[in-house]
Structure 1
């Protein structure tokens, strides 16, 4: 594992506790490192040992209230944890999922739901996955077809979802469903959120053969006449779209954090290699053709990290973080791909070898140009809300 350059943190970690948090997370995850993560992917296993240690150390719950088993910090703290895990070669998508589900439950779940789930998420002993995407809805969440109907004191759920990460190892799935009985007849769909145990009768799933090389597998999920008690409703019925944004802005911050961590790992690896690799008696790092592209990539990564830290700060302050979080995700995706591509190039043929830990990061980094919101929808949002241009869709 390459040593991270000392100058990676001060611009972003203006708070002393963030510097300490980064050091402690880096020390823990560094014991495992890139090879451990690669081996988990190769064996189709979850990084359970690392996950358990992160939970025991309190890092999985830094953004969860103390009264529910967490540390009581915010998304700015969680940003540090997610980024540092990726910077040590372990970009875990379950961390992104936790940034969605835990804030939603903390903000809108019943007291019983908070007590049942939040301490386990913080400790790493319980996992919840998240299901919103459908093939025919895409970014237009109002068009989801998965829906609920009332049945006695509870509900019946029917439909399917696409690209549901990690449902095979989750204890429950948080589902965004259309709720026709709550619609006002104005052409807009009413949505509700439900927490469904993954062993519920009528729930099934099949894997998607995906290029993303992570322990978390991707699935198409099916919900066939699943009977749910009233307690499965998360928050207020019919207000699901508003409630889900409590999790979606942290999701964008966490997705950006993964890409920023990947970029840090790639640049540190490339810098080490360039210093050590000599051609005709000269380290290749002395050549501007090698050094300048790495320096330029570094500048873009630092800008992406600063924007993401700002987005997290705005969210924690209760301000509107949507624009900053979307832009941070946009920048981090582009910056990480540039950094990763240049790091692979510096390694020459070795860059394509799994031994150097770079090539198999490509599709994880590329994923976040498309998800959790496409770069085109980010540009739509910025054009409309940042520049005041007419809505184009």
Structure 2
């Protein structure tokens, strides 16, 4: 593993950072307060090829990997304007379709996901299932050549921006009578498909929705991938999800740390010296820099393993990266508020709105506790506890 990024990747970082700087936290925060998506940034990032950098070239993508997509996410987030739907549309849905979709599905979906002209949301969480995906009850049954899909989903991001939602559901196995997972691309304007916004106290541009599916009729080609291989297909999208979520969190941490350092260099209270000269301010910021770099390294390791097809190694690293990035991000934002004192909660600085946004990363897309369960079971070979 080379710890020096290639010239191409360094150039990509610089270009994305410049794009992020033109929009910045002020733009994103104003949008978030109005519950409006970052549409202008999304559109420009798509036109520049950043959103689909991980998707195959023959379908309009950049032909690179999850590492490069995470790089884009990290730099935008570090500029204060990370794109949540990058986690969902190109990372989860794009990866699944590129790997398991039919040729027709690839040609239909991937170009739009690559240039941002099409957004696909992802629906897995259910009100009565939570983190236990084995309890999913959204069910598809055959009706002639079609499928009928019925169920509920909750906390689904960006449905109002999406033309389709990649829904995780189940079908009955005729041999065993047990339900097995399958994936369907469901149009958001399909009869029987309804979505309602969930009121949230988090200041974020992208809204969360509850979905209601009542015998939504889908053609056979809405089934993504193989009917008997959906569990493997589902997991193929979850490693990129965790890696992109880590990049988002690392970026937020970097943004908060940079804001703290600037303020600590300028603010003077005692001895006519900047407050950053005092160890009580400097040491916590130095510690956060270390923690963010550690989380970033694990995120990069996870991305490399993912791109090399090391599924189990990538799963372990992606979960660890997501855990580390969430904790470092939360600490970074909290310390940024503390460094600014009263100004840390003033609207002028905007750091107060980051408190809840950073806190989300400890819960979604997978909770800290479920990551610890994974590491205990698969890394330490301890008995399953849940």
Length-normalised TM-score, structure 1: 0.95
CA gap 1:13/1:199 in 2 versus in 1, 3 angstroms: farther
Could you say which residue in structure 2 is the equivalent of 1:341?
334
Aligned equivalent of 2:83: 92
**Does the alignment pair 1:37 with 2:57?**
no
1:182 Cα deviation after fit: 5.0
Further displaced range: 210-219 or 332-341: 210-219
* Aligned-residue RMSD, C-alpha: 1.3
Q: Identify if the C-alpha distance between structure 1 residues 40 and 264 changes in structure 2 by more than 3 Å, giving closer, same or farther.
A: same
The offset of 1:138, in angstroms, is 1.6
How far did residue 361 of structure 1 move? 1.5
Q: CA deviation at 1:43?
A: 2.8
8 A contact 1:92–1:214 mirrored in 2: no
Aligned residues: 381
Structure 1 residue aligned with 2:66: 75
Equivalent residue runs for 1:1-393 within 5 Å: 14-98=5-89, 99-181=91-173, 184-185=176-177, 189-280=179-270, 281-320=272-311, 321-393=314-386
Tell me, which stretches of 5 or more residues in structure 2 are unaligned?
A: none
Separation in 2, partners of 1:183, 1:209: 43
Residue 192 of structure 1 deviates from its aligned partner by 0.6
Q: CA deviation at 1:212?
A: 2.2
Distance 1:13 1:227 in 2: 50
State the secondary structure of the residue aligned to 2:214: strand
| Deviation readout 1:330-388 (Å, 9 max, x if unpaired) | 00000111111111100001111232132211222111211111111111111111111
Residue 183 of structure 1 contacts residue 190 of structure 1 at CA under 8 Å; is this kept in 2? no
Deviation per CA, 1:125-179, whole angstroms, max 9, x where unpaired? 0000000000111222121111000010110000110001111110100000011
Supply the distance in 2 between the matched residues of 1:45 and 1:151 (Cα, whole angstroms): 39
Consecutive aligned runs of 4 or more in structure 1 exceeding 6 Å deviation? none
Counterpart of 1:44 in 2: which secondary structure? Answer: coil
